[in-house]
Amino acid sequence: MLRRLLRGGRRFPSTVRVSMLVATLGAAAGLVTAQDDERGPRLEGLKRLDPPREIVRASDVRWLEDGRVVFGVIGPGIHAWRIGESGAQIRVALEEPADDVREEGGRVVIRRNPFERDYGRLAVSPQGIAFADLFAGIHVANEDGISGPVAIEFLGDLDRRGSLTAAVGLMPGDADGWAPYAAWLIPDGGGSPRGLLPTRDGGRGLERCRDAELSVIRFISDDRLIVIPGAEAGIFVYDVDGSIHDSLDAAIFFAETGCDVELNEWGNSPLNDAYARADWLSPRRIIDEVVADGAGNVYFFVRYGAERPAEEPRAEVGSLPDFGLRAVTADIAATLPNTDPACPTPHCYEPATPGLVPAASAYHWRPAFRWRAERSRRRPSINHGARRYGPKAEGLTGQPPGVPGSRQQQPQGRGNQLSRQDVDRIRAGTGERVVASVPPPRGRICWDLVHAQVGDLRTVARQPCVVESEFADTRLRADLRGDRAVILLRGGALRGADVRAAEAFEARLVPPTGGEG
């Protein structure tokens, strides 16, 4: 297994496995196998990229019109890189979060903000780059500078088309609480955000399940976008004018939606913890990413834990039953807007038939159970932390503050220790350092590739386990330009920002035979 030291920490490459119609290829950190299957969507010509050192902590990725790739990099900012070049160019960077300055007892006390900006979500169009940050909502950067922020919190995902930014998240309401929408269209130039998808739980799911990263929003054509709130059930298709076009069950894509967790005794979501989150995610089939090629093809990357050996790659093709414009889930069904005067919102909801499985689906639907923190038995509750240390740094032993003493006394691998030079830079206030309390959670993760067409999202084809990772916290981000895909594998939640480097790949996404848009 290839390992190399990076920023005083250890890089843990993922094992990647791809089903393609090419000869067997060897990859640096795993084996890329070839299987001949003409029926399902495919990744072809997979190539591991070697990004410059300054972008190894990337959290999101997008193509630019000129063929370069932009990465949102935890800490420094947004970088542009042309594949194959030795260096990257920084495109956008915000000022670091302000320190807390206050007067106490006649003295001025400065408490340095220890957290880094994450640039956790990107969206790109020729008119600008939209990005989200842990501290400041949504910004748009273009030739006129940086506008914003738009105050959308608990943000799940972003996308752009022209001068419109689409987002999943919560916006503060006029009174205490949230505005009644979970998805938004935001015009450039300071226009008011327009609500798309009404929230059905008052924002509770997006608040408690933010670190699980369940939301996806993507323009799948010039006039249509798909919204997956993730924390709430269902998948929804909208026109760019804000009118709903369709509602779908996630089971159509061999996935599930919804998140119902209870706060722990301290009033925090258990999903804030890296290991508890990995345990919660592993048995679930989550849509990690959606990309579209502009020619009618839409691809879904469906993430799931796969502790058993992978099945032989094969495609599953079939037109699932048309339920009409009704999305059936384990808990709730969403109907299209109606003219019923008793309907309290533009969308009305009714109970669904629990556990209903589309007859033609090869995926056996298993409604997610109500999960509590004590169900996590794999490892103790330990949080990863991303911190930038200054003259009054804590955690110089390689442990972030707050780790129990018994674990602090355990020997650390050399990769998680600070060198004398690191300590000198920290004490001088000149260095940045990411410290994780423990190694990343282990556990085999796979991503199925599911294909549909913009005009018929109910007819799908699936290729199982086209990408694979050996770490249970790995998440996948991707973007598509024509048939050329760039794929980013990174670990942890954005607010957890772990120490190992992200991995980037390039490949072609090929629709199933006869499935071209």
Res 308: pLDDT: 53
Sequence-distant (≥ 6) Cβ neighbours of residue 276 within 8 angstroms: 270, 373, 376, 381
Pairing status of strand 224-228 against strand 128-133: unpaired
Res 13: pLDDT: 45
> Can you give the CATH number for the domain in which 288 is found?
2.120.10.30
Res 272: pLDDT: 85
**Maximum Cα–Cα distance across the chain:** 75
According to DSSP, the residues that pair with 350 across neighbouring strands are 333
d(Cα 462, Cα 355) in Å, to the nearest integer? 22
Whether 194 is in a domain gets the answer yes
Whether 175 is in a domain gets the answer yes
Q: H-type helices in 99-237, by residue range? A: 204-208
d(Cα 516, Cα 40) in Å, to the nearest integer? 11
Written as one letter, the residue type at 287 is I
d(Cα 335, Cα 352) in Å, to the nearest integer? 11
Cα 43 to chain centroid, rounded: 20
Whether 50 is in a domain gets the answer yes
Res 275: pLDDT: 85
Residues in the chain: 517
Whether 420 is in a domain gets the answer no
Residue 252, SS3? helix
Whether 403 is in a domain gets the answer no
Sequence-distant (≥ 6) Cβ neighbours of residue 464 within 8 angstroms: 19, 310, 311, 313, 314, 316, 446, 448
Residue 377, exposed/middle/buried by CB under 10 A (0-12, 13-18, 19+)? Answer: exposed
d(Cα 343, Cα 243) in Å, to the nearest integer? 16
Whether 195 is in a domain gets the answer yes
φ/ψ (deg, to 5) at 422: -60, -45
Indicate if the alpha-carbon torsion angle 457, 462, 468, 473 is positive or negative. Answer: positive
Nearest to 476 by CA among 503, 453, 436: 503
Task: Please state the domain count of the chain.
Answer: 1
Whether 500 is in a domain gets the answer yes
Residuewise pLDDT in 10s, the chain (517 residues): 323 222 333 333 444 444 332 223 333 232 222 233 457 999 999 999 999 988 888 999 999 999 999 999 888 899 999 999 999 999 998 887 677 788 878 887 777 666 677 788 999 999 999 998 776 689 999 988 898 889 999 999 999 999 999 999 999 987 778 999 999 999 998 888 999 999 999 999 999 998 899 999 999 999 999 999 999 999 999 999 999 999 999 999 999 999 989 888 888 999 988 888 889 999 999 999 999 999 999 999 999 998 754 444 455 554 443 333 322 222 222 323 333 333 333 332 232 333 333 333 222 222 222 222 233 333 322 222 233 333 232 222 222 333 333 323 333 333 334 444 443 443 333 333 333 445 778 889 999 999 999 999 999 999 999 999 988 889 999 999 999 999 999 876 555 444 467 899 999 999 998 656 5
Res 442: pLDDT: 84
Residue 53, SS3? helix
Residue 424, SS3? helix
Nearest to 447 by CA among 472, 464, 461, 471: 464
Q: In this structure, what token pair is assigned to residue 302?
A: 């469906």
d(Cα 64, Cα 363) in Å, to the nearest integer? 36
The boundaries of the domain holding residue 264 are 5-90+104-387+434-510
Strands in 268-392 per DSSP E: 286-292, 297-305, 316-319, 326-327, 333-335, 349-350
Whether 151 is in a domain gets the answer yes
End-to-end CA distance of the chain: 40
pTM as predicted: 0.72
Contact in structure between 20 and 5 (CB atoms under 8 Å): no
